[in-house]
Amino acid sequence: MMMPRLRRLCAAISQKAFLAIALSAILLVSTGCSALAPPESPSAQFEQTQAETSGRKAPDAVAKEAVKGSSLNDFFPRSVAGYSGYDVVAAQEKKGFAQFKVNEGGENVAMLSINDTISNPNAATKYESSTRKIQGSPALDIGNNGTGVLVGDRFQVKVQSRSDRFSAEDREAWLQKFDFKGLAKLNS
Amino acid sequence: MAPVACEFAIPSRPKAISKESPLSKKPVYTLVDELPNKGLTIMSLKALDFAVPGAWNNLTGFVNTIKEVTGETDEALIKEIGDRAITLYNDKSEGYQKALWLYQTVDSASSALGTGMIANKATENISFLGLINKLTPKPEKAQSFDLTVKLVVELVAFCQINGIPGDSIGDFLGAVKDYGGESLMRMAALVCYDGLVPLGPSFAEKGLETLKQSSASDLDHNKTFKGVKELIPGDRDKGKLAFITESFESVQDWMLGFVGDRGLTQDKVVTSLSKAVDLSQDKLEYLGAFLDVGTNYYEHTGVQTLTRRLVERAAAEV
């Protein structure tokens, strides 16, 4: 026959065990549920932008004052010394924007672009943090693969690598060959 | 070399654009996120890998596309690029939505069957044998029209997306030689699935002959043309027919070169496709109709092309 103290002790232990099992089960279920819940789409971060830029009152993506894309073409280099076998091919031309591809042996190795930041001024303000210059204009490394220059406080000129073969030094070499002086005059 | 603005006048707002399919009302990121990774469209495009080896890798997902195109990994920069791409896409005057509408419409309008079958197509799980009994071979004339109209849609969509080419046809010819990735795959599918397979090795000649022997009213009876005519340059149907004829005639040599350089034959294409989609040789006559109904390769690769261009522009502008 079990002593009353021992019986109480056994009851206390079994209560604790029950609680521990119950808590573990709750934890397991909740962990399991969160693991089963669908992950948030990486695109969910764009929902606010979608709401702000669609619908009747959406702002224009490109400012009315932006220059014609065709007026930007003359300032791109068509070739750069030391880069024989590289082709410069027209890619896009829209209001306030022009872009060319640099291909080597048929492979796209870089993109050259000029955009009028009057449509998106944030693109220009980031150059306030620039600590170096290319052809006398503030320059920045942007991300892993881009180098940009702000010309005449308005036009962003960028070279972006599209191949490991096209390095940051290559980007700067091509930026040196844009006609920044001519481009700056568009802002006068 | 330098691009100039489009010379031909593309109607600014086609009447039909107000009847956009539900798909085109979706945010651009949803369109890209929902691109399938399997199904008949994907199988039939992969079956053409032998023609354009390694050109196409079925890039899907909006953020994934930004990372793949730019090589960038910084989340803040990716967000910035995505925001700008969405802003550009949502501004109808930028042309990206018109290009999408063209790609979607030419795919659905060229279908030999009605909208019920198109709705089923969205599930992407129709077997060839299940479908074949409901199909009838498309007449050669209708198939020829489809081929030529689809080619012109590519030209017009290209102009909408890129802002070039200048005098349209000549610059498009220059650009098409530089096509890669999903754009090259779309052209391969056009040449193979809308030309070589249903019309045989003289598909280009047949297409051109059909156009030259047709009147404007013949063209207007073609469903594919009717679907997209609002955005085809040219004064009334007669002018549009002339534009289609001129465009097709100009691109004919490129198409024949594409086939010749790669040694493509009807037999090779059908053999590759039959391995992919459980196709028996005795049903060959139905193949064109099957591809029309069972796949939407123009829309699929069209979404990929316009997203790539959007991302390229956004990454340059931020």
A90-127 confidence digits (pLDDT tens): 899 999 999 999 999 889 999 999 999 999 999 999 99
B316 to chain A, any CB pair closer than 8 A? The answer is yes
Q: Which residues pair with A112 in a beta bridge?
A: A100, A159
Return d(Cα B97, Cα B28) in angstroms, integer.
Answer: 9
**Which secondary structure element, helix H or strand E, spans residue B297, and what is its range?**
helix B297-317
* Residue B173, domain member (yes or no): yes
* Residue B314, domain member (yes or no): no
Specify the number of domains making up chain B: 1
- Average pLDDT of the residues in B186-208: 93
| Exposure letters B84-115 (e unless 16+ CB within 10 A, then b) | bbbbbbbbeebbbbbbbbbbbbbbbbbbbbee
- Say whether pLDDT at A178 is over 70: yes
Residue B113, phi-psi category: left (phi > 0), alpha (psi -120 to 50), beta (remainder): beta
Q: Are A152 and A187 in contact (CB under 8 A)?
A: yes
- Average pLDDT of the residues in B244-251: 92
CA-based torsion, A104, A107, A110, A112: positive or negative: positive
Which residue is it, tokens 């030309």? B195
pLDDT at B288: 66
* Residue B76, domain member (yes or no): no
Alpha helices in A37-176 (DSSP H): 47-53, 122-125, 168-175
Domain of B206, in residue numbers: 97-301
- The closest CB to that of A46, out of B83, B178, B315, belongs to B83
- Say whether pLDDT at B3 is over 70: no
Q: Which CATH number fits domain A69-185: 2.40.50, 3.40.1000, 1.10.3470, 1.20.120?
A: 3.40.1000
Closest CA to B141 of B240, B211, B52: B211
Residue B112: pLDDT band (50, 70, 90) is very low
Across chain B, mean pLDDT equals 82
Q: Are B154 and B148 in contact (CB under 8 A)?
A: no
- Say whether pLDDT at B31 is over 80: yes
- Say whether pLDDT at B137 is over 90: no
Residues sharing a CB contact under 8 Å with residue B299, sequence separation 6 or more, in sequence order: B23, B103, B104, B107, B108
Q: Are B107 and B297 in contact (CB under 8 A)?
A: yes
Residue B38, phi-psi category: left (phi > 0), alpha (psi -120 to 50), beta (remainder): beta
The C-alpha of A30 sits at a distance from chain B's nearest C-alpha, in angstroms, of: 29
Q: Are A60 and A95 in contact (CB under 8 A)?
A: no
B34 to chain A, any CB pair closer than 8 A? The answer is no
Return d(Cα A178, Cα A155) in angstroms, integer.
Answer: 12
- Say whether pLDDT at A31 is over 90: no
Residue B114: pLDDT band (50, 70, 90) is very low
B36 to chain A, any CB pair closer than 8 A? The answer is no
Q: Are B241 and B214 in contact (CB under 8 A)?
A: yes
* Residue B127, domain member (yes or no): yes
Least confident of A170-179, B6-15, B228-237, B308-317: B6-15
- Say whether pLDDT at B311 is over 50: yes
**Which secondary structure element, helix H or strand E, spans residue B251, and what is its range?**
helix B236-261
**Which secondary structure element, helix H or strand E, spans residue A112, and what is its range?**
strand A107-116
A63 to chain B, any CB pair closer than 8 A? The answer is no
Q: Calculate the alpha carbon distances from B16 to B98, B151, B258, B292 in Å.
A: 11, 20, 33, 21
Return d(Cα B294, Cα B108) in angstroms, integer.
Answer: 10
Contact criterion met (CB < 8 Å) for B1 and A90: yes
Alpha helices in A37-177 (DSSP H): 47-53, 122-125, 168-175
The B residues from 95 to 114 touching A (CB cutoff 8 Å) are 95
Q: Examine residue A59 and say whether the peptide bond preceding it is cis (omega within 30 degrees of 0).
A: no
Model-level ipTM above the cut of 0.85: no
Tell me which amino acid residue B202 is: S
* Residue B58, domain member (yes or no): no
Which residue is it, tokens 């940051």? A168
* Residue B7, domain member (yes or no): no
This prediction has a pTM of: 0.83
Q: Calculate the alpha carbon distances from B27 to B86, B92, B105 in Å.
A: 8, 13, 18
For A89, name the nearest residue in chain B, comparing CA atoms only. Answer: B1
For B83, name the nearest residue in chain A, comparing CA atoms only. Answer: A49
CA-based torsion, A23, A29, A35, A37: positive or negative: negative
* Residue B211, domain member (yes or no): yes
pLDDT at A16: 57
Which two structure tokens, joined as six digits, stand for B195?
Answer: 């030309």
Tell me which amino acid residue A21 is: I
User: B307 phi and psi, to 5 degrees?
Assistant: -70, -40
For A79, the 3-state DSSP assignment is coil
The C-alpha of A132 sits at a distance from chain B's nearest C-alpha, in angstroms, of: 19
* Residue B84, domain member (yes or no): no
- Say whether pLDDT at B23 is over 80: no
Which two structure tokens, joined as six digits, stand for B52?
Answer: 């354009």
- Say whether pLDDT at A2 is over 70: no
Contacts of residue B2 in chain A, CB cutoff 8 Å? Answer: 70, 73-74, 90
Q: Calculate the alpha carbon distances from B200 to A132, B170, B203, B271 in Å.
A: 61, 27, 5, 14
pLDDT at B280: 64
Which two structure tokens, joined as six digits, stand for B9?
Answer: 């006048």
Return d(Cα A100, Cα A168) in angstroms, integer.
Answer: 18
The C-alpha of B41 sits at a distance from chain A's nearest C-alpha, in angstroms, of: 24
CA within 13 Å, CB half, B261: 10
- Say whether pLDDT at B272 is over 80: yes
The C-alpha of A13 sits at a distance from chain B's nearest C-alpha, in angstroms, of: 52
Which residue is it, tokens 């039909």? B16
